[in-house]
């Protein structure tokens, strides 16, 4: 069953985040290095973006679910459903790709906060389609890391001709252990190398909506050392690009298998074979062997995108559930349950349904708040001229700290609460008549790819916290403490700030206990890491929702009827989250301080 009208965007909340809370109209728009967008134009641009997502991207949402991409094993070519290709073309024909591109590459030069706010709508309307647009990111990565000759040959050409793009890391035997990759690179001449090996789980490794696909491939040059430090990154095109920019012969990189998946079926998940029977030529990016460092520009973007995908899916699922709850009439009001003649009411009047709706609303809004707050840090880094500025370096460190929270928490909690979205519809939610079951299947991959949740928690503890001894975490916690002490929101939010204060204490205690436990064994990071990641994320979300509520309170008086209802909703989200979610963090320090190694000491036979 097609879900042409499944997508329900929440641009009003995105506008609130961008223009009322983060105030990017003053903070970022129109300032170098960004383009000359002002707030009115930015709002209008996002409105147009929304309409195209609803009208032209969303209609192919379920096309590939019922008619997945097909592989021709003889040519290694993947054919997409016609509806999906139509939506793919619409994205470019309407210029949606221009928003995030910098002005020197012909784009609008929107700040990251606005670009991520727009991309939420692409992900929410058609998540599988969104990842076919990775080819729009790669020119920015090549522009940042490649030689002048490589930039001249690829950057503008990829944009103008709408080429596809991939990130190629994972191998069958290595999995998430990227440092164990075996794909080899043999030097031919200058920056030209030949790649040999098999890569797995490559998103959209081949598809027939474009004339060329550029693969960014990690491989190990002959004689290089082991681990991630021995890897280099190569530009490997599907069709070789000649010096004059024309397309040459088919390169020796082919899709040799398509994964059959639980969900996200429109996205072609490929096994890619390099150099089997025909050389797979590639260019060493930047002519330097800094592969993992270069690839992390793509990885970090992908992790943010995956967290946003989960948030976007939850948001539209909630709004679908809300619409159903307002229309579905079933049973009397609980207060009149004993009266057989009582009037039947729509299910939004039932307490349990209201609880489920507010659980969805507060988390969807909280995830959006966390993601766009982090995006504003990316604005700050670019505004301050990159990592050479001390303030930019501090903003970048905080952005890095936030990425595992966004990817890990939004993907895990998104999956959990999507089941609540389905539950709101009762038995109807289990049917393909509604998009909920596909939302759940399409979203589950978010906890798995770009680093599983366990990997995100280890990244948080061993990379982000260890890198500066927890100094950046203290900066974040200091911001939260400042909100508590500032009396933000006044007496109206006193109970919420009190709940936030208790949650802050509990999270600080938990991280302190972890430091003690790590002295006993590093295993404790693996056993308790996810809990700490979730706790930190919920603390941040609670903080941001309370700050949102303070803004809403200040704007409530004199607002239009629609705006007043919106602001009341923001206040309700903060109160619900502070009352229902933040108190659960009281268990966090108890779990961490009580962590034992019993699981690690059990013999395998016990399991």
Asked if residue 119 and residue 157 are part of one domain, the reply reads no
Asked if residue 572 and residue 495 are part of one domain, the reply reads yes
Asked if residue 119 and residue 167 are part of one domain, the reply reads no
Asked if residue 172 and residue 124 are part of one domain, the reply reads no
> What is the predicted pLDDT for the residue at 1?
44
Spatial separation of the C-alpha atoms in residues 97 and 343, rounded to whole Å: 52
Does 344 reside within a domain? no
Does 359 reside within a domain? no
Q: How far is CA 588 from CA 513, 520, 539, in A?
A: 10, 19, 12
Q: Is 401 exposed, middle or buried (0-12, 13-18, 19+ CB in 10 A)?
A: buried
Residues 6+ apart with CB under 8 A from 524: 514, 517, 518, 592, 595, 597
* Phi, psi (degrees; rounded to nearest 5) at 544: -70, -40
In contact, 289 and 228? CB cutoff 8 Å: no
533 CA to centre of own chain: 16
Asked if residue 575 and residue 504 are part of one domain, the reply reads yes
Structure token digits, residue 480: 């939260």
Total domains present in the chain = 3
Asked if residue 102 and residue 71 are part of one domain, the reply reads yes
Q: Assign 3 a pLDDT band (cuts: 50, 70, 90).
A: low
Structure token digits, residue 324: 């159903």
Asked if residue 129 and residue 184 are part of one domain, the reply reads no
Q: In sequence order, what are the beta bridge partners of 197?
A: 274
Does 123 reside within a domain? yes
Q: What is the pLDDT of residues 181-212, one digit of tens each?
A: 899 999 999 999 999 999 999 999 999 999 99
Asked if residue 150 and residue 133 are part of one domain, the reply reads no
> What is the predicted pLDDT for the residue at 177?
81
Q: Is 264 exposed, middle or buried (0-12, 13-18, 19+ CB in 10 A)?
A: buried
> What is the predicted pLDDT for the residue at 180?
83
Asked if residue 270 and residue 150 are part of one domain, the reply reads yes
Closest CA to 370 of 418, 420, 421, 404: 404
Spatial separation of the C-alpha atoms in residues 171 and 199, rounded to whole Å: 4
Tell whether the torsion through CA atoms of 505, 510, 516 and 518 is positive or negative. Answer: negative
- Taking each helix axis as running N to C, give the angle between helix 494-520 and helix 471-485, from 0 to 180 degrees, rounded to the nearest 10: 160
- Bridge-based pairing of strands 77-79 and 70-72 is antiparallel
Asked if residue 253 and residue 136 are part of one domain, the reply reads no
Mark which of 256, 290, 324 sits at the end of a domain. 290
Does 607 reside within a domain? no
In contact, 445 and 264? CB cutoff 8 Å: yes
Closest CA to 233 of 278, 168, 304: 168
Q: In sequence order, what are the beta bridge partners of 100?
A: none
Does 552 reside within a domain? yes
Mark which of 236, 267, 290 sits at the end of a domain. 290
Q: How confident is the model over 6-20, as a mean pLDDT?
A: 98
> Which element (helix H / strand E) includes 122?
helix 112-125
In contact, 69 and 80? CB cutoff 8 Å: yes
Higher pLDDT, 127 or 177: 127
- Which residue has 């089997």 as its token pair? 276
User: What mean pLDDT is reported for the chain?
Assistant: 96
The domain spanning residue 76 has which CATH number?
1.10.540.10
Q: What percent of the chain has pLDDT over 90?
A: 95
Does 284 reside within a domain? yes
Closest CA to 297 of 227, 239, 241, 378: 378
Q: How many CA atoms lie within 13 A of 318 on its CB side?
A: 25
The domain spanning residue 177 has which CATH number?
2.40.110.10
Q: Assign 387 a pLDDT band (cuts: 50, 70, 90).
A: low
* Phi, psi (degrees; rounded to nearest 5) at 343: -65, 135
Closest CA to 108 of 136, 79, 89: 136
Higher pLDDT, 84 or 388: 84
In contact, 333 and 319? CB cutoff 8 Å: no
Asked if residue 271 and residue 206 are part of one domain, the reply reads yes
In contact, 293 and 321? CB cutoff 8 Å: no
Structure token digits, residue 327: 């229309």
Tell whether the torsion through CA atoms of 100, 103, 108 and 114 is positive or negative. Answer: positive
> What is the predicted pLDDT for the residue at 4?
60
Spatial separation of the C-alpha atoms in residues 534 and 518, rounded to whole Å: 19
Does 323 reside within a domain? no
Spatial separation of the C-alpha atoms in residues 518 and 525, rounded to whole Å: 7
Task: Provide the H-helix boundaries in 521-586.
Answer: 523-556, 561-580
> What is the predicted pLDDT for the residue at 109?
97
> What is the predicted pLDDT for the residue at 388?
72
Q: 524 in helix, strand or coil?
A: helix
Q: Is the peptide bond before 33 cis (omega within 30 degrees of 0)?
A: yes
Q: Assign 175 a pLDDT band (cuts: 50, 70, 90).
A: confident
Q: How many CA atoms lie within 13 A of 448 on its CB side?
A: 12
Does 424 reside within a domain? no
Closest CA to 280 of 302, 249, 246: 249
Query: In the structure, how many helices (H) and strands (E) does the chain have?
Result: 21, 14
The DSSP result for 259-277, as a single string, is ---SS-TTS-EEEEEESSS
Spatial separation of the C-alpha atoms in residues 473 and 464, rounded to whole Å: 9
Q: 168 in helix, strand or coil?
A: strand
Q: What is the pLDDT of residues 326-360, one digit of tens each?
A: 999 999 999 998 998 999 999 999 999 999 999 99
Mark which of 240, 256, 290 sits at the end of a domain. 290
Asked if residue 153 and residue 255 are part of one domain, the reply reads yes
Give the domain extent around 585: 462-598
**Catalytic amino acids?**
450
In contact, 397 and 472? CB cutoff 8 Å: yes
Say if residue 2's pLDDT is above 50.
Answer: no
């Amino acid at each position: 069953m097609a879900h042409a009208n499944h997508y329900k965007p929440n641009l009003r909340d995105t506008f609130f985040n961008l223009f009322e809370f983060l105030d990017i109209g003053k903070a970022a728009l129109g300032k170098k290095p960004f383009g000359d967008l002002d707030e009115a134009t930015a709002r209008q641009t996002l409105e147009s973006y929304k309409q195209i997502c609803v009208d032209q991207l969303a209609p192919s949402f379920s096309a590939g679910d019922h008619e997945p991409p097909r592989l021709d094993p003889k040519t290694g070519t993947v054919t997409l459903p016609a509806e999906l290709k139509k939506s793919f073309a619409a994205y470019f024909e309407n210029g949606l790709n221009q928003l995030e591109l910098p002005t020197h590459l012909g784009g609008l030069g929107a700040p990251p906060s606005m670009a991520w706010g727009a991309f939420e709508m692409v992900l929410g309307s058609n998540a599988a389609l969104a990842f076919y647009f990775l080819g729009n990111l790669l020119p920015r990565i090549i522009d940042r890391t490649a030689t002048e000759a490589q930039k001249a040959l690829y950057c503008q050409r990829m944009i103008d001709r709408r080429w596809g793009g991939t990130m190629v890391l994972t191998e069958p035997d290595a999995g998430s252990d990227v440092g164990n990759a075996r794909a080899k690179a043999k030097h031919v001449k200058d920056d030209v190398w030949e790649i040999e090996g098999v890569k797995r789980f490559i998103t959209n490794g081949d598809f027939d909506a474009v004339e060329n696909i550029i693969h960014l491939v990690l491989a190990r040059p002959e004689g290089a050392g082991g681990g991630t430090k021995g890897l280099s990154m190569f530009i490997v095109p599907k069709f070789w690009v000649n010096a004059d920019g024309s397309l040459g012969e088919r390169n020796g990189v082919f899709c040799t298998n398509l994964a059959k998946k639980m969900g996200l079926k429109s996205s072609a998940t490929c096994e890619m074979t390099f150099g089997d029977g025909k050389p797979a030529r590639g260019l060493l990016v930047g002519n330097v062997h800094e592969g993992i460092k270069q690839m992390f520009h793509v990885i970090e973007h992908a992790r943010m995108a995956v967290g946003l995908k989960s948030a976007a899916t939850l948001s539209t699922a909630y709004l679908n559930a809300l619409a159903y709850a307002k229309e579905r009439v079933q049973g009397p009001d609980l207060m009149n349950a004993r009266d057989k003649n009582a009037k039947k009411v729509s299910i939004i009047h039932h307490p349990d349904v209201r609880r489920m709706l507010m659980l969805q609303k507060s988390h969807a809004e909280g995830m959006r708040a966390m993601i766009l707050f982090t995006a504003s840090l990316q604005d700050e880094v670019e505004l301050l001229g990159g990592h050479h500025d001390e303030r930019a370096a501090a903003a970048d460190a905080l952005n890095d700290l936030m990425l595992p929270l966004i990817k890990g928490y939004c993907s895990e909690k998104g999956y959990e609460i999507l089941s609540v979205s389905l539950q709101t519809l009762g038995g109807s939610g289990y049917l393909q008549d509604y998009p909920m079951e596909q939302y759940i299947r399409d979203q589950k991959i978010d906890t798995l790819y770009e680093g599983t949740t366990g990997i995100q928690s280890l990244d948080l503890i061993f990379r982000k916290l260890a890198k500066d001894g927890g100094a950046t975490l203290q900066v974040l916690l200091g911001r939260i403490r400042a909100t508590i002490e500032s009396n933000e929101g006044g007496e109206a939010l006193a109970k919420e700030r009190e709940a936030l204060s208790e949650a802050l204490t509990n999270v600080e205690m938990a991280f302190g206990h972890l430091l003690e436990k790590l002295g006993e064994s590093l295993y404790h990071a693996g056993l308790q890491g996810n809990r700490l990641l979730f706790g930190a994320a919920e603390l941040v979300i609670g903080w941001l929702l309370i700050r949102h509520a303070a803004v809403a309170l200040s704007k409530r008086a004199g607002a239009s009827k629609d705006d007043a209802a919106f602001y009341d909703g923001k206040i309700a989200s903060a109160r619900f989250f502070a009352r229902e979610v933040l108190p659960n963090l009281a268990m966090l320090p108890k779990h961490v301080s009580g962590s034992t190694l019993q699981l690690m000491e059990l013999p395998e036979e016990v399991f």
